[in-house]
Amino acid sequence: MKITSIDTYDVRFPTSRELDGSDAMNPDPDYSVAYVVLRTGAEFTRGGKPQIHKANEFEGHGFTFTIGRGNEVCRAAIDALAPMVIGQPVDDLGEFARRLTHDSQIRWLGPEKGVMHLAAAALINAAWDLVAKVEGKPVWRLLADLDPDQLVDLVDWRYLSDALTPGEALDLLSAARPGRDERIARLERDGYPAYTTSPGWLGYSDDKLVRLAKAAVADGYSQIKLKVGGDRDDDVRRMRLARGAVGDDIRIAVDANQRWDVGPAIDWVTALAPYRPWWIEEPTSPDDILGHAAIRRGLATAGPGGSRIRVATGEHVQNRIVFKQLLQADAIDVVQIDACRVAGVNENLAILLLAAKFGKPVCPHAGGVGLCELVQHLSMFDYVAVSGSLDDRVIEYVDHLHEHFVDPVVMTGGSYRTPAAPGFSAQLRPEVFARYAYPDGTAWA
C-alpha cells in the first residue's frame, strides 16, 4: 500500500477566551493542530495476501500540537516533508520513520528537534493510524501484538547504545511476554488510571479551582495537578485550598512549565512542601539535564518528614537522546512522553524502552488537542508489552475538545477505557474544519 496524496490543515481552537490551558509560561494558549491526512491507492496486503479496496477507503490521520501562533509553520513543515512520503509504501514503519528523520538536508534543520521533528511526528503518527485501520486494530493492540524482534526493528538505535542496546531491548521485551494476556484482560476490564489537570489552570479563580478539585475526586480521580510559577504566595494559597478540597489521600502534582532557574525551583517547591506535592513537573528548561539533576538532589528530603518530592519532565524534551541523558544522570523520577513532540510512535517506543531499562515510571503528558486520544495507546501498550506495571503510572487527562474527535477518549471512574476502534483515535470530525480552520473558519471570522 502506497501513499498517493497528502492534505494538510491549520486548525485552531480559541481556548484563550476562557483561559483553558493557561499556565505561568503560556498564559493565553489557543490550542491548535497542524493536521495531515494520508490518502492511499487501491492495493495493499493484509496477512501477506494482496487486497483491493476503493481509493481512499483507508486514510491515515495525524497531527502535531501547538498553542496557536506558529501552527502555520508546522503545517508548512509537513508540506515540506510530503515529497518523501508520497508514492512511498507504509509496509515497514521503521523505515518510514527513518526516511523522515534521516534525510541529510532536512536533518540540518534539527537535527531531530524543533518544527521539522514536530512535522515528522504528524506524518509518522498518521502512518500508524493508517496501518492500524487496515489491520482492523487500535494502535495499542497493533503494537502489543508485534513480536519483540519486530518492535526492536521499529526503533532508531543511533546514539542509544551506551544506555540501551537492541539486544537488551529484545531481552526486556521477551521478559515481558509472560502475563501479557492477563494484562490485556485487566486493561479491558478496568482501564488505565488517569489524573486530571482540569482544576489547576493558572487563570482559574480560587472558587473554580476548589469546585473542580472536588468534582475530580467525586469522578474517581486519585490525583490532580495544579499549575504553579506565577506568584509564590498565590501558589501557596492555591495549594492550601486544593489540599483542603481533596483531603489527604489524593495526590497533587504541580507543574511550573519551565518557569524557574535551578535555585528558585528548589526554594519555590520547598515552600509548597507542607501540602505534599507528589511531583514538580518541568521546573526548568527541558534541555537542562544537569539543572534537573540539581533540582532533584535539592528536593531529595524537602517533603514532609524528609521525604522526596519527585521531579518529572518530558513534554518538551526534544528527542530520545535527551531522554537518555536525563535517565543516565538520574535527573528525573518520572518520564513524561508526549505523542507529538518526538518523532511519533517509533521514537516514543525507544523512550518507553529506556524508561523500563532505568526503572522509571512513565506518566505521559496529554490534554491539548487530541493528546489524550493518542497517548492512551502508548501507555496501554507499555503496560501490556514493555513495563508490565501500573505502579505509580497515570495518564494525564483534561476534559476539553474531545467532542471534536470521531473516536474520543472514554473515561470511567478516573480511568481511560481501552480504545476498540481501529486506528490511533486521531481523526477529527468533518465539521471541525469549517468552523476552526485558521484563518477562515467561522470561529475566527
Per-residue pLDDT tens over the stretch 92-140: 999 999 999 999 999 999 999 999 999 999 999 999 999 999 999 999 9
Instruction: Answer yes or no: is 438 within a domain.
Output: no
> Beta strands 334-335 and 415-416: pairing type?
unpaired
| pLDDT tens per residue, range 45-65 | 555 555 544 545 799 999 999
Residues 218 and 265 in one domain: yes
Residue 53 has a pLDDT of 47
Residues 12 and 116 in one domain: yes
Q: Is the Cα torsion angle 363, 364, 368, 370 positive or negative in sign?
A: negative
Residues 276 and 345 in one domain: yes
d(CA 108, CA 112): 9
Residues 126 and 261 in one domain: no
Give the range among 45-59, 291-305, 412-426 with minimum mean pLDDT.
45-59
Instruction: Answer yes or no: is 43 within a domain.
Output: yes
d(CA 324, CA 285): 16
> Which candidate in 61, 133, 365, 402 is catalytic?
365
CATH number of the domain to which 67 belongs: 3.30.390.10
| pLDDT tens per residue, range 244-257 | 999 999 999 999 99
Task: Point out the domain boundary residue: 113, 138, 163.
Answer: 138
Residue 27 has a pLDDT of 72
Residues 106 and 219 in one domain: no
Task: Point out the domain boundary residue: 138, 161, 186.
Answer: 138
Beta bridge partners of 43: 52
d(CA 59, CA 443): 26
Residues 126 and 206 in one domain: no
309 touches 296 (CB < 8 A): no
Instruction: Answer yes or no: is 339 within a domain.
Output: yes
Mean pLDDT, residues 364-380: 97
d(CA 13, CA 225): 23
Q: Which amino acid is at 130?
A: L
Q: Is 225 a catalytic residue?
A: no
**Phi, psi values for residue 339, rounded to 5°:** -65, -20
Residues 247 and 362 in one domain: yes
> Which candidate in 117, 225, 227, 292 is catalytic?
227
Mean pLDDT for the chain overall: 95
CATH number of the domain to which 424 belongs: 3.20.20.120
> Quick one: which of 144, 147, 3, 141 has its CA closest to 61?
3
Confidence of residue 24 (pLDDT cuts 50, 70, 90): low
**Cell 517533603 sits on residue:** 303
Instruction: Answer yes or no: is 85 within a domain.
Output: yes
Mean pLDDT, residues 294-313: 98
Mean pLDDT, residues 230-248: 97
Mean pLDDT, residues 69-76: 98
Mean pLDDT, residues 266-284: 98
Q: Is 365 a catalytic residue?
A: yes
Residues 131 and 184 in one domain: no
> Quick one: which of 94, 59, 78 has its CA closest to 11?
78
Residues 65 and 111 in one domain: yes
**Alpha-helical runs (H) found in 138-179:** 139-144, 148-154, 166-175
Confidence of residue 400 (pLDDT cuts 50, 70, 90): confident
Quote the percentage of the chain above a pLDDT of 70: 96
The dihedral region occupied by 330, where left means phi > 0, alpha psi between -120 and 50, and beta the remainder, is: left
Mean pLDDT, residues 275-298: 98
Number of domains within the chain: 2
Instruction: Answer yes or no: is 31 within a domain.
Output: yes
Confidence of residue 43 (pLDDT cuts 50, 70, 90): low
pTM of model > 0.85: yes
Mean pLDDT, residues 161-168: 98
Instruction: Answer yes or no: is 439 within a domain.
Output: no
Cα Rg of the chain (Å, integer): 21
Residue 443 has pLDDT above 60, yes or no: yes
Residue 50 has a pLDDT of 52
Residue 203 has a pLDDT of 86
311 touches 342 (CB < 8 A): no
**Phi, psi values for residue 134, rounded to 5°:** -60, -40
Confidence of residue 158 (pLDDT cuts 50, 70, 90): very high
Residues 246 and 354 in one domain: yes
Residues 134 and 181 in one domain: no
Q: Determine the structural domain holding residue 337 and report its residue range.
A: 175-432
CA angle 340, 363, 139 (to 5 degrees): 50
Output 1 or 63, whichever has higher pLDDT.
63
Residues 231 and 114 in one domain: no
Task: Point out the domain boundary residue: 119, 138, 157.
Answer: 138
Residue 78 has pLDDT above 80, yes or no: yes
Residue 211 has a pLDDT of 98
Instruction: Answer yes or no: is 170 within a domain.
Output: no
| pLDDT tens per residue, range 315-348 | 999 999 999 999 999 999 999 999 999 999 999 9
Residue 19 has pLDDT above 80, yes or no: no
